[in-house]
A and B are shown apart, each in its own frame.
Chain A
């Protein structure tokens, strides 16, 4: 576990980090993509931090009226940015395919991330954009879009759990040591904290509502730790791969 000692990094004779240049490029793309993603969802689309679940119908209409421009700009940018998700998820797939466990785990990860993206991003995008582009509709319908969008976006966190399960199993079973075992355990935390998102459907307020301290915010903290760890282990796995190793099937 000497994570920070220099000898863990294999360097070329020039002293540069080793690893394939295109894969190394993706390890830089990965955190940049998530940084832009974070700015869009937190500042523009207004889905995180989530708006209150316990507002009246008039409150939901006021929310969309007040933020309609940033929501529209935010989701347009998000739809463009999501084109880069195959690259970030593909980088994880690339390293999962280098593991001894076989490609099926990698494809399982991609499939689960893809399924999660439907309720997790596209449905909330459709709900928010419809609500802001059709403000003349019945306020009850606007309120319904508000609930559907937020329940879909936050409540679908459990969909990504499948991806975390296959990733954790792959890391823990892998004999090639592509990712460290501790990262497999950290991924298990992700599985458990995100399953609690199922509670969002039941509560309008309190610790287990969709803006609840236990169900959402503590899970966000764990997710941030997990994502930071993923960026770190992706970089370590990339520079640990011999430059002259054959390409993957």
Chain B
């Protein structure tokens, strides 16, 4: 956004600019929230420091690119397929790597996940080269203009789908039998197993769900930004920031955390420097962990 503010109309333009930043933050925040709730299931509830989360996000975007641009699949069908493929890849990672590490030390699990992250990222680079790819979208190119503000149709669609997926996840975890089994498994594995919960399958299902949400976020944002092999790194960092901001395993906290991070970034980019956009998430992580390690919206039982 241009900053050639002349002195005469400084007042109203500054306000409009601020409102435009707020709208951008709202649109971006929904996808951040989607990334965040995916990770809060895996990192917050399963306690797996999931370094592959960003790669699942990139995988979703690449599947979207392959389906829409290479195989000419309908945009909306491709979105569903990319999300499903992400969930399958996540489930496979869980089955192959994490199932053997159930009782392993957290450091061991982290190292294995770092290895998986390096493998996935470089396989993407090998398959699709380092060149950035664009994905066409079926929405009108002209933005909706309301007074001095403007929003593109694509962004509104992304916002709506992200909110929908967040709501579905919320109901799934808090209102279904599967969700209850998930919560029981990660609260007390032995007791849950004694109650007849198939805990191995619950582990895989939870990881697949979180990964599917990350892939959905990638598939939604891919058509807005460009698709590159390293796009997952900042996404993973943001997801960790959001989970820590919202409190471990707190779905509502992660949702709000996503919007807060997006807002902080937009304000930072608009008024400080665009070079530091990705630094804001890291600074938030450091500050939150040092001064309020239970997150902003701590639930009492999560404090450890």
The yes or no verdict on A and B being binding partners is no
Using a CB–CB cutoff of 8 Å, the interface residues on chain A facing chain B are: none
